[in-house]
Amino acid sequence: MKERPDITRSDSRSVKQILQDIVNHISDIVRSEVRLATTEVRQDLLDLAKAGMLIGFAVVLMLYGVGFVLLGGVYALQNAVSPWLAAVIVGLSVGIVAAILFVTGRKKFEQASLRPDKTIQSLEDNVTWFKKQTK
């Protein structure tokens, strides 16, 4: 009786050893998926922190901008043309910079996602691979 080449065993491990190896590999996969998810969430939180800092700086600069505009109004009421015009120009400039920082920070908040996409994709790939192996 001839043995078919696709059924031959290349190692002499018992079924118990093979099952133990499978369980060990699955636990390794789960641990690596948890590490990947942790890293991904940590990076997303770092991106959110950076966006929050930009918005914080924008708020501070907006407050300074309002302060300078108000200072310009004070100077205008005192009939001092040159100082109030300078204060208004500085106030508007600071306000423009603050608006740019705010828009940039808001876009970063909108782009940020706490969903671990890479981990989910990796888990789906592992499930697909496992299903193919068990058929």
Q: How many residues does the chain have?
A: 135
pLDDT < 70 regions, the chain: 1-11, 73-74, 76-81, 84, 90
Confirm if 65 and 94 have CB atoms less than 8 A apart: yes
Quote the pLDDT of residue 3. 52
User: CA dist 107 to 49, 52, 95, 104, 130, Å?
Assistant: 13, 11, 18, 5, 39
Give CA–CA dist 127/23, Å, rounded. 14
Burial classification of residue 58, based on how many CB atoms lie within 10 Å of its CB (0-12 exposed, 13-18 middle, 19 or more buried): buried
Instruction: Quote the pLDDT of residue 11.
Output: 63
What are the boundaries of each domain within the chain? 16-115
93, two tokens:
């400039």
Place of tokens 């018992």: 14
For residue 84, the model assigns a pLDDT of: 67
Q: For residue 113, what pLDDT is reported? A: 73
Residue 52 tokens read as: 């929050």
Residue type, 55: I
The model carries a pTM of 0.43
Q: How far is CA 83 from CA 34, 62, 72, 78, 93, in A?
A: 61, 20, 7, 10, 15
pLDDT at site 1 = 46
Question: Could you tell me where the DSSP H helices lie in the chain?
Answer: 15-77, 81-111, 117-134
